[in-house]
Amino acid sequence: MSPETDEPDPRRWRALAVTLTAGFMSLLDVSIVNVALPSIQRGLGASPAGIQWVVSGYALTFGLVLVAGGRLGDALGRRRMFLFALSAFVLTSALAGAAVNETMLVVARLSQGVAAGMLTPQNSGLIQELFRGAERGRAFGAFGTTVSLSTAVGPVLGGAIIAVFGAEQGWRWVFFVNVPIGVLALVLALRLLPKAPRSTTRLRSQLDFVGIALLGTAVLGLLLPLVRSEQGGLTALWWLPLLAVVVGLLFVLWERRVVRRGGSPLLDVRLFTETPGYATGAAIGTVYFAGFAGIWLVFALYFQQGLGYTPLESGLVVTPFALGAAVSATVAGRLVPRLGRKLTLVGLAMVAVGLGAVAVVAPLVSAELTGYAVAAPLLVAGLGGGMVISPNTTLTLDRVPTRMAGVAGGALQTGQRIGTAIGVAVLASVFHVGIDSPGGYEAGLRWAMLTAVGIVAVALSLAVLDLRRRPPRPLGGPPSRVTTSSTPME
């Protein structure tokens, strides 16, 4: 909507295309770097520890700042935050590509993750702001397509870039490719994104610095052992998740205190307790990403190490999932106002069936035929996956007050990042246990896929629970109006 009127902004679809392009780049950088790691080792002489930080550092800082980035967008205006974060992402991408040593590359990746974490919540916030009714479902359908494609296309695109620019210097172009696309998105965003009225309230009074510190510590305590799991992080840093739980409880108590005193909390916990569907939807997203995101590492290891595929071949094998997700996410976005949570149920069931079929089929055929044998199951799983992300995002954020859309989207995606980290650690561990068994790589793939199916089944159970509890109401209607004696949520 336009800031001064209830009339739809005539530029809203073009604005959405620009913001999703930038969001695609930031999410793509989670997965695209994986296939470039051997190139980085050859071209830069990076150590194994440095390589791990190139991958995990981005995911870590990305997850740390999502909620704070969403809150800043709510307070400062999403257009302003989008432009700032996208500029920082372009700059840090260029620095990563131009890195002359391991330290420079790691610092650039950490900074790039911060920029991406600030950028991503603005997408969901702008959708809440610009769209209503059935249009919001279509917009979130496009957002779901972006998430699905960015996750699955990363290995293919990374492999293609390495093939074109060479094994020694190709890794630089994995980062440099963001620069021209990002600059173009910046120019278009300046023209198309709606300006928010300038706030008369001091920024300092709108930001909860204690809450930022507490939540950041809690998320760090959860994520750091997980992203360092292959280097023994779960053993050496076992105490950090316990600390995270304690700090998380302190965060909840602090945020409630801020609300009682009429302040501006970082994350109003009433989103989870008094906004219908938000807590369950966030849980579904977290659990689904734990089962969904971890399979890409397993596939890369199985096809490249187990079957001898090239990075590009390995990426092409999983393309059916990406294509299925792209198609179904767009269609599901149009159907969610009518079918609601039922879409998520069907989608989760299809993901479970598709991954289960991969577990059965892949070990039964020769290496040369495996890519063809798993194409149909991965297509089924992809079609299901596209029916999960965008409808769940739409339903979860449906009753969130627009002024809190950024922080609500940031919290939702923080859960997804935590789920991703858990899933990668769990599925990689199961896979390695399997390949150390007499069954070798085939057993590793089978066990990992069946573990993913089990995790998806948990998400399916949560979706059934939400379907039973969710009261009927047209999507895009008035958001939740939760009030207390001090601070209304709407």
Write down the pLDDT at residue 471. Answer: 57
Long-range contacts, stretch 274-277, CB < 8 angstroms, 24+ apart: 274/480, 274/482, 274/489, 275/399, 275/400, 275/480, 275/482, 275/489, 276/399, 276/470, 276/471, 276/480, 277/395, 277/396, 277/398, 277/399, 277/466, 277/470
Please count the helices (runs of H) and the strands (runs of E) in the chain: 23, 0
Reported as a single tens digit per residue, the pLDDT across 106-115 is: 999 999 989 9
Q: What is the DSSP string of 315-382?
A: HHHTHHHHHHHHHHHHHHHHHHHHHTHHHHHHHHHHHHHHHHHHHHHGGGS-HHHHHHHTHHHHHHHH
pLDDT band at 474 (very low <50, low <70, confident <90, very high): low
Q: Is the pTM of this model over 0.75?
A: yes
Report which residue type is found at 487. T
pLDDT of residue 304: 81
- What would the mean pLDDT of 324-329 be, rounded to a whole number? 85
The answer on pLDDT for 456 being more than 90 is yes
Q: 68, 407 in Cβ contact below 8 A?
A: no
Query: 485 falls in which pLDDT band (50, 70, 90)?
Result: very low
Give the relative orientation of helices 405-435 and 440-469 as an angle to the nearest 10 degrees.
150
Mean pLDDT calculated for residue range 328-354? 88
- The Cβ-side half-sphere exposure at 337, using a 13 Å CA radius, reads 14
Of 325, 440, 445, residue with least CA distance to 390: 325
Give the confidence band of 397 by pLDDT, cuts at 50, 70, 90. Answer: confident
Structure tokens at 471: 């009261």
Higher pLDDT, 8 or 12: 12
pLDDT of res. 90: 95
Looking up tokens 């650690």 gives 425
Residue 106, both tokens: 């790691």
What residues have CB less than 8 Å from 373, skipping those under 6 apart? 361, 362, 364, 365
Q: Give the total residue count for the chain.
A: 490
pLDDT attached to residue 29 = 80
| For range 179-208, the mean pLDDT | 78
Please state, in angstroms and as integers, the Cα–Cα distance from residue 126 to each residue in 139, 206, 406, following that order: 10, 20, 8
- SS3 of 92-111: the string is HHHHHHCCCCHHHHHHHHHH
Encoded tokens for 255? 């945020």
Residue located via tokens 């939760």: 482
Please tell me whether residue 133 adopts helix, strand or coil conformation. helix
pLDDT tens-digit series, residues 221-279: 887 887 776 666 667 777 888 988 999 899 889 888 888 887 777 777 777 877 788 88
Computed over every residue of the chain, the mean pLDDT equals 82
pLDDT of residue 204: 62
pLDDT band at 58 (very low <50, low <70, confident <90, very high): confident
pLDDT of res. 171: 87
Above 80 in pLDDT, residue 348?
yes
pLDDT of the residue at 205: 60
- Top mean pLDDT of 192-196, 435-439, 477-481 is at 435-439
Angle of helix 278-292 versus helix 405-435 axis, rounded to 10: 30
Q: Please, what is the end-to-end C-alpha distance for the chain in angstroms?
A: 17
For residues 333 and 203, what is the distance between their CA atoms, to the nearest angstrom? Answer: 36
Q: Return d(Cα 102, Cα 93) in angstroms, integer.
A: 15
Q: Is residue 481 scored above 50 in pLDDT?
A: no
- pLDDT score, position 6: 58
Per-residue pLDDT for 20 more than 50?
yes
When pLDDT is cut at 50, 70 and 90, the band that residue 483 belongs to is: very low
Closest CA to 414 of 57, 15, 63, 77: 63
Task: Say what the pLDDT of residue 200 is.
Answer: 55
pLDDT for 41 beyond 60: yes
Q: Which two tokens stand for residue 235?
A: 């053993």
pLDDT value at position 30? 73
Predicted pLDDT at 2: 46
Output the pLDDT for position 454: 95
Task: Please indicate whether residue 8 or residue 247 has the higher confidence score (pLDDT).
Answer: 247
List domains and CATH numbers for the chain. 12-193+266-469 (1.20.1250.20), 208-265 (no CATH)
For range 172-189, the mean pLDDT:
91
pLDDT digits (tens, 9 = 90+) for 199-224: 555 656 667 788 888 888 888 888 78
> What is the Cα–Cα distance from 53 to 120, expressed in whole angstroms?
21
| pLDDT, tens only, 145-178 | 787 677 667 777 887 888 888 878 888 998 998 9
Calculate mean pLDDT across residues 83-100: 94
Q: Which carries the bigger pLDDT value, residue 264 or residue 428? A: 428
Residue 268, H or E segment: none
Q: Would you say residue 299 has pLDDT above 60?
A: yes
